[in-house]
Amino acid sequence: MTERSARDWLVVQDVTKDFKGLRALDAVRVGLERGEILGLIGPNGSGKTTLINVITGVLPPTSGGITACGRDITGLPSFKIARAGIARTFQTVRLFRDLTVGENIEVAALSVGKSRRAARRAAEEAIDELGIAHWTDEFASVLPYGDERRVEVARALAMTPDFLLLDEPAAGLNEQESEDLLRILAPIPTRRNLGMLIVDHDMHLIMRLCDRLHVLNYGRTIGAGEPAEVRRIPAVIEAYLGSAAEEGRDAPA
Amino acid sequence: MREILGRAPYLNTVLTLLVPLVLIAAATDAFGGTVQQRIVTTMFINMILVLGLQVYMGNSGIVSFAHIGFMGIGAYASAVLSMPPDLKAMTLRDLYDVLQPIDLPFWLAVTVGAGVAGVVAAIISYPLMRLSDAAAIITSFALLVVINDVLVHWSEVTNGPRTLFGVERFTYLWTSAGVAFAGLLFAAWFRESRVGLQLRASRDDRVAAQSCGVNMVFVRWVAFVLMCIYAAIAGALWAHFITSFQPGHFYLEEVFLILAMLVIGGPVSVSGAVIGTILVTLAFEGFRALEGYLNTNQVFGTQVFGLTEFLLALAMIGILIFRPAGVMRGRELRIGRRHRGGRGMPATKERAAD
């Protein structure tokens, strides 16, 4: 990777994360380029959410480094990582319930340093992109579940990030809602020139949406590449068959 | 007018609240006797304290006891600065030589008092702003105790636990009302401001707010310092209203009264702070009249001391059980249209105009 192209990458370099004797991430290496959609998949407890938490500074890594656009962001507090151009959503929706939908989105744009005017413009753009304009003046606490998910994505987009990390954006959505969301998400990386990392269990959605896949199991990378290649890797097949057999139970971490 | 209100809905809230407040002040001025004047002047001073508490506690979601300590700092600082030197020679015999000849006009003394409290707050509070939940509440209480201890023992400046007397009276009905109105305008603006919005986001979800770029420690700190400045201004006005006081006045009883006003009104909105102050003042005076009536007429055959505080505490418990978000339930009073939580987006307004 040349110095020049490093400006377009989010690079996770040999990141390890230990929780009291449990290795949640084991020397994971992932690169995410602007303009692409990378699917991060793996059975329950394989470390997907932990990886997002480590990248966004919610958890400090035990070892390893992370750079965004060539800048070292390892160990920074999460608000600085957000300002460095990395936005995220959460596995369980985390909206600001006593703020309106408009405020939820505008405050994110303001917090990364935009002026009042620019923040408002970024918020409007994100609101239109996600098709939630009719909710703008309502409190976030009154939203139906499916729209909560959209507001969370709009909030992240209003930060005009270089990299967008989506933690199970389709979890809990019905087939139609999930289909609609996919249609909204697919063109975003190209239009906004951002790298999108998406964690999801819906393999149908992942296979259709992603340019590349990265597979974790027990915190270790067991496969990476284009979707068609990855689904032929024996370790991946085994992990997924194993997890399918244990469906409904928590897989060991 | 409609244009301006549409762009800054907090002005609508402020104007809506100002109408009854100005009426109360004007009616008291025109028809009230000395007692009513005192009650309403004190109510407006309390309103400044409650609005200050709303700025921090309402927007950050963290209960604080410390601000009453800063009320004390404002009261003593302004009193020492505004007192004529010959009076100081009598009431504060051990006062430092540097402070002895200072004789500031009232408003300058208030400003400097608020500035002193603001600087102290800014320095002490920054490391505390990382704390949330119980830890934050306990440390704010500890801060109150520490400040009280300093006021009690720094006899050179405060006359120790004894009463400091000889402060000139400068605060009258419209003085406290005017400052309360300004405090209301600022609190309503702050809530919608850049820092206010970020603070409210961090109140609703700490992790998500920080992942959106909110520097939580910083925005909490700004609001905490503002709260202390509010409290110090209120303390300075009160000092120049009551004219003699002691450190004990800036302690638990006052903390409870101001907290009750905000909690009963509803801490999340500025309207809650204003309505709570009015309601508790009415209740307080009502209970006190009742207590006086019971005592003079020996209704229970014995004296019932402390009935007022007792009933006020009951009212607070009742509110917390039956209406935990306070009387206003986090809403702002607004005239003219259905309440919305914040500023409308132009996008939707255009759509509505189509």
Asked if B341 reaches chain A (Cβ–Cβ under 8 Å), the answer is: yes
- The complex's ipTM works out to 0.91
Residue A233 located in a structural domain: yes
Number of domains in chain A: 1
Chain A residue closest in CA terms to B269? A98
- Checking DSSP bridges between strand A220-225 and strand A9-19, what pairing results, if any? unpaired
Say what the pLDDT of residue B302 is. 79
Q: Per the domain annotation, does A85 fall within a domain?
A: no
DSSP codes joined into one string, A100-161: BHHHHHHHHHHHTT--HHHHHHHHHHHHHHHT-GGGTTSBGGG--HHHHHHHHHHHHHTT--
Contacts across the A-B interface (CB distance below 8 Å): 122
pLDDT band at B329 (very low <50, low <70, confident <90, very high): confident
Residue A118 belongs to some domain of the structure? no
The residue of chain A nearest to residue B202, with distances taken between CA atoms, is A96
Is pLDDT of B199 > 70?
Answer: yes
What whole-number distance in Å separates Cα of residue B49 and Cα of residue B42? 11
Per CATH, the number for B2-249 is 1.10.3470
Is pLDDT of A4 > 60? no
Q: Is the pLDDT of residue B5 over 80?
A: no
Is A130 among the domain residues?
A: no
Q: What is the CATH number of the domain that holds A242?
A: 3.40.50.300
Q: Which residues pair with A212 in a beta bridge?
A: A38
What is the distance between the alpha carbons of residues A180 and A183, in angstroms, rounded to a whole number?
5
Classify burial at B122, counting beta carbons within 10 Å of its beta carbon; exposed 0-12, middle 13-18, buried 19 or more.
middle
**Low-confidence winner among A85-94, B121-130, B288-297 (lowest mean pLDDT):** B288-297
State the pairing for strand pair A86-88/A163-167.
parallel
Q: Residue A128 domain-assigned?
A: no
Determine contact: A93 vs chain B, CB below 8 A.
no
List Cα–Cα distances, A43 to A27, A213, A219, A235, B290, in angstroms. 18, 14, 10, 12, 69
CA nearest neighbour of A185 among A172, A170, A175, A171: A170
Contacts of residue B298, defined as CB under 8 A and 6 or more positions apart, other chains included, come to: none
Query: Using one digit for the tens of pLDDT, what is the confidence trace for A61-106?
Result: 999 999 999 999 999 999 999 999 999 999 999 999 999 999 999 9
Mutation for A interface: B211, B270, B350, most A CBs within 10 A: B211
SS3 A22: strand
Interface test with B, best of A78, A142, A164 (most B CBs within 10 A): A78
Interchain CB distance below 8 Å, A99 and B197? yes
Residue A97, domain member (yes or no): no
- Find out whether A25 and A54 touch, Cβ atoms under 8 Å: yes
Coil, strand or helix: which one is B8? coil
Q: What's the alpha-carbon Rg for chain B, to the nearest Å?
A: 21
Nearest Cβ partner of A97 from B194, B204, B213? Answer: B204
Range of the domain at A207: 1-79+165-180+197-247
Asked whether residue A89 is domain-assigned, the answer is no
**Unique residue bearing structure tokens 């909030």:** A155
The mean pLDDT value for B26-38 works out to 95
Contacts of A25 (CB under 8 A, 6+ apart): A15, A16, A17, A47, A50, A51, A54, A61, A219
Average pLDDT, integer, range B173-193: 97
Q: Does B352 reach chain A within 8 Å, measured CB to CB?
A: no
Which residue of B lies nearest to A100 if distances are taken between CA atoms? Answer: B341
SS3 of residue A216 by DSSP: strand
> What pLDDT band is residue B6 in, cutting at 50, 70 and 90?
low
The answer to whether A60 faces chain B, any CB pair under 8 Å, is no
CA distance A234 to chain B (A): 37
* C-alpha separations of A218 from A21, A198, A199, A213, B319 in Å: 13, 19, 16, 17, 50
**Residue A173 within any structural domain of the chain:** yes
Report residue B74 as tokens.
Answer: 């404002």
Determine, for residues B345 and A136 on separate chains, whether the beta-carbon distance falls below 8 Å: yes
Residue in B closest to A57 by C-alpha: B211
- For chain B, the domains span 2-249
